[in-house]
Structure 1
Amino acid sequence: MTLTQAEKYEAARAHGTPLFADLPGDIDISFEFFPPKTPAMETTLWESVQTLAPLSPRFVSVTYGAGGSTRERTHATVERIARETDIKPAAHLTCVDASREEIDAIARGYWDAGVRHIVALRGDPPRAGEKFVARPDGYASAAELVEGLKRVADFELSVSAYPERHPDAATATADIENLKRKIDAGAVRGISQFFFEPDTFFRFRDAAAAAGITAELVPGILPVSNFAMLKKMAASCATHIPDWMGRLFEGLDDKPAARQLVAATVAAEQCRRLYAGGVRQFHFYTLNRAELAYAISHMLGVRPKVSEGQ
């Protein structure tokens, strides 16, 4: 990718001044949550929503468990966000273990509830280690799901993207081609799986552009609050964890405050380097906690919007 003059200036500025000095906040942010399982988790989730809402995210998404295992809780959480906040919610929806009629009915329910944005995913099998097998009466891929949802209503549709290749993809080229099918079917953006080295995203962005993908590609940012959990998550989606990250988090298992500081520093630097490369949209995987995502957004120049008259 050839940098513009403005991007070259920004890259030089990033190296010549304090990294986060006076950033203008000219970015779009969004946040991802998962549906709570217990009353205590629901309290934590809503405290996080209330903390992040003043940053005016363009949307918040709510995940959907393997095999539709959180279907009702996802629906309830999305509806509550739509009903009780000014934030635009986006509901995750997958192809797993459901017929086309069932999925279309869920989508119509979201539309009737005022939800206009869906994150359309093929989805993971409900049992670890199994391969995805489409139901004969179901959608066979995320691209088919996007087409089907567009027939139901004029949803805004986001899809997943994989800077390091989906584990089921035969090659990186095949994975890019699959992303293009999803975009061509009607999706307006790809939200990436988490990654930890900015160059990984830049190479992916260049490859997507070379394949004719012009839709928005948004990096998914995962601040690391628990390194042991991260290793499990990364293994399941074939995400590379740099060796230096493991060394950086050594000795912090019983020091949560220090771990939070290290996590925020690592993720903020990642975002700053992405920003220097022209990225202006960020999607944060919050794990239902607001502190790290709020701190990083703040460092990138995002501030609560102040209404007129205040």
Structure 2
Amino acid sequence: MSTDTHRLPIYSVELFPPKTSEGMAKLKREIDRLSAVGPRYFSVTYGAGGTTRERTFETVDWLRSQGIDTAPHLACIGSTRDEVREILARYRDQGMRRLVALRGDMPSGMGSGHGGDFRYANELVTFVRSEFGDAFFIEVAAYPEYHPQSRNPAQDLENFKRKVDAGADGAITQYFYNADAYFGFLESCHKVGIDLPIIPGIMPITNYTQLARFSDACGAEIPRWVRRRLEGYGDDVESIRAFGHEVVASLCRQLIDGGAPGLHFYTMNQSKPVVRLWEELGLPTPG
């Protein structure tokens, strides 16, 4: 049962924890600019183990101290049940009611023999529900173009359904640039009885080299015509950003017009591209 009483659509943003004090100071300024447009919540990505995880806690703690609704990511691979239980209790006691539950990647330097107590995200969702009941609104990952480690879309859909059946309340997708991929994925979900809000993940285009590297790693397709246009701009940063904005704004309009239950922006800790999209799309703002 969901603990989220707020109506859809939900428009939210994602941050990653900075590695330095200087980065944290910069991120706080970006958060101030993002807060001005009124995201429903800020999610914070999770670094497994050591100082990386502590940076996640630091970022989450600061957001909560500012009264900002926060959804921490929790990746389970490489973790024990006791470790995850401790983190969840901490978040619950801080008043957090939303959680993004993920498998995650094996921490650097940790071999396959040290995978912890969890193998897949559905096991994490099951654990959260068994230990904490309905304390959290749990969101999981979805892949409209299917996860790069899946053999095919059918297997990926089965994996997604396991997370839903384990007790997920909603899902956020990997980013994509083809609206048909998203709507086709929704149709496939409905055919197997998946009925929960699946919010599109939106990645602004500001740096083609970085985007191409991310996309090749995570399996997100950059349409050929978009890739060719971006390649053609070379080092012309302003043209890349202007064209990228047009592509993403058009995608967002298609998704909203098609009935998407919200948008989740991958900010890469940069407020300007997201605020520009937010304002141009006429998304809800405070006041």
Q: TM-score, normalised by structure 2?
A: 0.90
Closer, same or farther: CA 253–115 of 1 in aligned 2, 3 Å? farther
Distance 1:222 1:304 in 2: 20
Deviation at 1:42, TM superposition (A): 1.4
* 1:55 counterpart SS class: coil
Deviation at 1:115, TM superposition (A): 1.7
In structure 1, what is the equivalent of residue 238 of structure 2? 257
Of 215, 218, 229, the residue aligned with 2:199 is 218
Amino acid at match of 1:146: V
Distance 1:274 1:131 in 2: 41
Matched, 1:298 2:279: yes
In structure 2, what is the equivalent of residue 23 of structure 1? none
- What is the percent sequence identity of the aligned residues? 37
Distance 2:86 2:147 in 1: 28
CA contact (8 A) 2:208 2:240 kept: no
Deviation at 1:277, TM superposition (A): 1.5
Distance 1:230 1:68 in 2: 28
Of 157, 165, 185, the residue aligned with 2:146 is 165
Matched, 1:126 2:112: no
In structure 1, what is the equivalent of residue 5 of structure 2? none
Structure 2 counterparts to residues 7-156 of structure 1, below 5 A? 27-65=9-47, 70-85=52-67, 87-127=68-108, 135=115, 137-153=116-132, 154-156=135-137
Deviation at 1:259, TM superposition (A): 2.6
In structure 2, what is the equivalent of residue 16 of structure 1? none
Closer, same or farther: CA 146–230 of 1 in aligned 2, 3 Å? same
In structure 2, what is the equivalent of residue 20 of structure 1? none
Distance 1:269 1:260 in 2: 14
Q: Which digits, 9 at most, give the CA deviation of each residue in 1:148-188, with x for residues without a partner? A: 11233221111000011112222211211211111121111
In structure 2, what is the equivalent of residue 10 of structure 1? none
Deviation at 1:279, TM superposition (A): 1.5
The higher radius of gyration belongs to 1
CA contact (8 A) 2:77 2:120 kept: no
Closer, same or farther: CA 133–175 of 1 in aligned 2, 3 Å? farther
Closer, same or farther: CA 118–166 of 1 in aligned 2, 3 Å? same
CA contact (8 A) 1:225 1:259 kept: yes
Structure 1, 255-264 or 48-57: larger mean CA deviation: 255-264
In structure 2, what is the equivalent of residue 236 of structure 1? 217
In structure 2, what is the equivalent of residue 12 of structure 1? none
In structure 2, what is the equivalent of residue 11 of structure 1? none
* 1:180 counterpart SS class: helix
Structure 1: state its 5+ residue gaps: 1-25
In structure 2, what is the equivalent of residue 266 of structure 1? 247
Distance 2:114 2:9 in 1: 38
Cα RMSD for the two superposed structures: 2.1
Structure 2: state its 5+ residue gaps: 1-7
Distance 1:244 1:131 in 2: 40
Q: Which digits, 9 at most, give the CA deviation of each residue in 1:259-291, with x for residues without a partner? A: 322221111011111122222400000000011
